[in-house]
Amino acid sequence: MDFRLSDEQQAFAQAARDFAAGELEPHAARWDAEGIFPRSTFTRAGQLGFCAIYAPESIGGLGLPRLDATLVFEEMAAVDPSTAAFLTIHNMATWMIGSWGSDTVRENWGPALASGEKLASYCLTEPGSGSDAASLSTRAEKRGAAYVLNGSKAFISGAGDTDVLVVMARTGDAGPKGVSAFVVPADTAGISYGRKEQKMGWNSQSTRPISFENVEIPADCLLGREGDGFKFAMQGLDGGRINIATCSVGAAQGAYEAARRYMGERKQFGQTLAGFQALQFKLVDMLTHIVASRQMVRLAAAKLDAKDPDASSYCAMAKRLATDLCFQACLDGQQIHGGYGYLKDYPLERLVRDTRVHQILEGTNEIMRVIVARQILEKGADIR
């Protein structure tokens, strides 16, 4: 078992680190304060391949493993978790379109999404179905050579600012087998966007509800076959949980590095903070939790890449562990900064706000425990 990154992986991570330093870090605080969706930055990310890291090469994606994607998202999240998180969502939607889209859909959208010229949102959550995603009620009815969508979605990242939507809608009976997935141009007649949500964090990406009223789309906008949607959604969520866990690891790494620098600079009682053992221990605990979370996330990514039958459980465990431990690491970094950590002049308060939602989205951490509990108690899986 070799935990070392290859030379190629290290170079890929360095490219992401350089991009984050040059394109994200100088602007992250302003994007957060002013609620700016940095569209041109995503285009520049696409030029480096960061908009389609694990999407198929047939649409212009890099076709890399999920493990390699974690390297990119971690580096970006270390300075801007909000913008990095939207990039993970776009990658997931692009991968879905590239993997299961019709020839027409792949030709129309694939290269543009892979290059960052166009951006995508993922539409699963509804006002009445969050953790219970299989109960979604948005419906798509087949009418001749088209489907007609009616319903609504909630908490959609990028809604109103993106070009295409991957929408989960019901085409059959109640339950997961009645759900299908569709690719819907974001400006199609009958689509309306609600107000931009005012959020605690994630302010560089817009979040809005979406309503569909008699939205007609061609039949070839269906991803895969009717009834495949929930299966696609769950596969997407496995990867999404790795992605958001990775963003937590990156944010915690950023908090740790800021806290370490601050401890070497700030003086109290005649010595730097680095001379106080209590703060030394807090810094060491931060780093230990970050390293443990990073390794768990990479293990889960490797399981997903290998199509391991227990991959879903590993993704759930990694998401639960990393988002809990790394949020606490951000809090600890803020505590080390004292009163300065509460000011927007320092990145700690933004890192804390941006990572709080990671324990909620892509399935709450309580749901992560439910997933693993079912796997080990009802199905008798031997996870080791």
What is the percent of the chain with per-residue pLDDT over 90, rounded to a whole number?
Answer: 94
- pTM for the model stands at 0.95
pLDDT at 379: 76
| Residue 317: band (very low, low, confident or very high) from pLDDT cuts 50, 70, 90 | very high
How does pLDDT run across 89-135, given as a tens digit for each residue? 999 999 999 999 999 999 999 999 999 999 999 999 999 888 888 88
Q: Are 337 and 348 in contact (CB under 8 A)?
A: yes
How does pLDDT run across 205-220, given as a tens digit for each residue? 999 999 999 999 999 9
For residue 1, is pLDDT > 70?
no
Amino acid (1-letter code) at residue 18:
D
Q: Which distant-in-sequence residues (6+ apart) come within 8 Å of 191 by Cβ?
A: 165, 184, 210, 211, 212, 215
Catalytic: which of 74, 117, 362, 366?
Answer: 362
CA 71/CA 76 separation, integer angstroms? 9
Helix, coil or strand: residue 205 = coil
Domains parsed from the chain with CATH numbers: 7-119 (1.10.540.10), 121-226 (2.40.110.10), 230-378 (1.20.140.10)
Sequence-distant contacts of 336-342: CB under 8 A, at least 24 apart:
336/259, 336/262, 336/263, 336/273, 336/279, 336/282, 336/283, 337/258, 337/259, 337/262, 340/262
For residue 382, is pLDDT > 80?
no
The reply to whether 213 belongs to the active site is no
